[in-house]
Amino acid sequence: MMTNLPLTMSLAKALLIVTCVILNFTLCVTSLPAEIERGWRRAVHVLEDDTGAVIVQTAPGKVVTHRGGSITLPCRYHHEPESTDPSRVRIKWTKVTDALQFVDVFVALGRQWRVFGPYRDRVSLEGAGPGDASLVIHNVTLADYGRYECEVTNDMEDDTGFVNLDLEGVVFPYYPRVGRYKLNYQQAEDACKQQDAILASHSQLHKAWLEGLDWCNAGWLEDGSVQYPISNPRDECGRKDMPAGVRNYGYRHKEDERYDAFCFTSNLNGRVYFLKRFKKVNYAEALKACVRDGAAVARVGQLYAAWRLQLLDRCEAGWLADGSIRYPIVNPRARCGGAAPGVRHLGFPDKKFRLYGVYCFQKNKEEEQEKKEEWRGKKEGREEKEEKKEVKEGREVKEEKEEVKEVEEKKEVKEVKEEKEGREEKEVKEGREEKEEKEVKEEKEGRVVKEVKEVKKEVKEGREEKEVKEEKEEKEVKEGREVKEEKKEGKEKEGRVVKEETKTAMQKTLNNSSSLLNNTMVL
């Protein structure tokens, strides 16, 4: 037991250290949201592996701006060790969508850079010093909202950090003239765009619910889910005994299922106003009236933005671009649609026969021009700064080039010499190969000639043998024919001899008979 005591104490110490580390880590993790809520900005170190070759630091939580504004997405990096050539560092910014798709925004390698898609002429690196990869976005649009990835690559090592870009704005429910629950996902997305908005995210809808949004109809969100916010639970909106909150139907089929939409819009580059007229107008007359005033009929998203961000308050109903009748109330009062502030909606009346006022939207040309000039000035200043930097670097580069040139000349002489030796060696090798090839060819030709001669000899011998055989067969045939003729002639000769003998015998007999007859007659 005494021998195991030191080991037991070591294990206890190790367990205690691990427990402390876990507790400290837990405290850091649990305390982070509170710090973010208080607006503290702390660097997050994201390490790809244990070597720590590249370390990227980004701001936790999110950065907030509004449509039309400028914002910096912070990202800094450093190398361990600090001996990396800056011209070999690649910085890439991408936007991460809810569907986990990566959209290219900006990429830079040394002094070379490229901007992609709708971000052209609007983004650049802040370049505040060595290791600064922060991205500046000018004239922020609604589509810029979301999560961005900062990736820094040094040869084979890389590291990433994330920044969330949030927009100040307002969430509003929307359904078209055809009625409620008539939009699939794509139609809902298009409907929001037509009203100068985008589909809201879950975090935007949740924030709107915290600010008092209460809507009893479910609508599409950006991630393809269907939700609706309830601040005052009631039986007609999912039972009265259920707690308040954002009710979630989950992710629905984007083509087949139909709901309303929750849209999000932000700051306006212009103003919405109620057009004062002596008489009320129908929809077609409202369109013409705004055009004559150098404006256009306001969209639903523009009216909500003016109500929320510009505090537009008007207790007069008017036409909007989608054919609906609405009016904004910041300070509720009698005969202005209830006790809560908001944008009142009177539906979609007949465009031809119903008469109302009209809300118009006019772009702020001066502000737009100022932003263009500001962007142009910043661009020129950045170009001038880069030009000075390039001049300084140019001198260093020139000296380096001269050294490189001298080294390259020596290298070139060496390469020429090696090339000459290589060429001579190659020629010798080719000559040897040519000689060997010639010998092989001659040997092959000799073998072929020999084979041809042997074939000819065999053919000749075969022909001679055949001729001898034919002569022999012909001789045998001739001899057979002669033997046959001799036999025939012998037979014929024998026949003639037999015939002559027979004739002689018969003549002799006849003569004997005649002699006998004569003797008889004498007698």
pLDDT value, residue 44:
34
Q: Is the pTM of this model over 0.85?
A: no
pLDDT value, residue 195:
97
Q: How far apart are CA 490 and CA 488, in angstroms?
A: 5
pLDDT value, residue 518:
80
Indicate left, alpha or beta for 295 from its phi (over 0: left) and psi (-120 to 50: alpha): beta
pLDDT digits (tens, 9 = 90+) for 127-175: 877 888 999 999 999 999 999 999 998 876 788 889 999 999 999 999 9
pLDDT value, residue 191:
97
If you average pLDDT over residues 53-78, what whole number do you get?
81
CA-nearest of 317, 308, 316 to 341 is: 308
Say if residues 181 and 320 touch (Cβ distance below 8 Å): no
- Tokens representing 443? 């040997």
Q: How far apart are CA 342 and CA 327, in angstroms?
A: 9
Say if residues 125 and 134 touch (Cβ distance below 8 Å): yes
- Tokens representing 388? 């000075």
CB atoms inside a 10 Å sphere around CB 297: 23
Q: How far apart are CA 95 and CA 146, in angstroms?
A: 7
pLDDT digits (tens, 9 = 90+) for 227-256: 999 999 998 888 888 999 999 999 999 999
What residues form DSSP beta bridges with 150?
93, 161
For residues 163-182, one letter each, b for 16 or more C-beta atoms within 10 angstroms of the residue's C-beta and e for the rest, the string is bbbbbebbbbbbbbeeeeee
pLDDT of 52 > 70? The answer is no
DSSP 3-state assignment of 271? strand
CA-nearest of 97, 108, 101 to 151 is: 108
Distance of CA 359 to the CA centre of its chain: 43
* Cα dihedral sign, 203-347-180-299: negative
Say if residues 71 and 137 touch (Cβ distance below 8 Å): yes
pLDDT digits (tens, 9 = 90+) for 172-229: 999 999 999 999 999 999 999 999 999 999 999 999 999 999 999 999 999 999 999 9
Q: Cα Rg for the chain, rounded, in angstroms?
A: 55
Distance of CA 230 to the CA centre of its chain: 40
* β-strand pairing of 146-154 with 157-167: antiparallel
Token match 């361990």: residue? 80
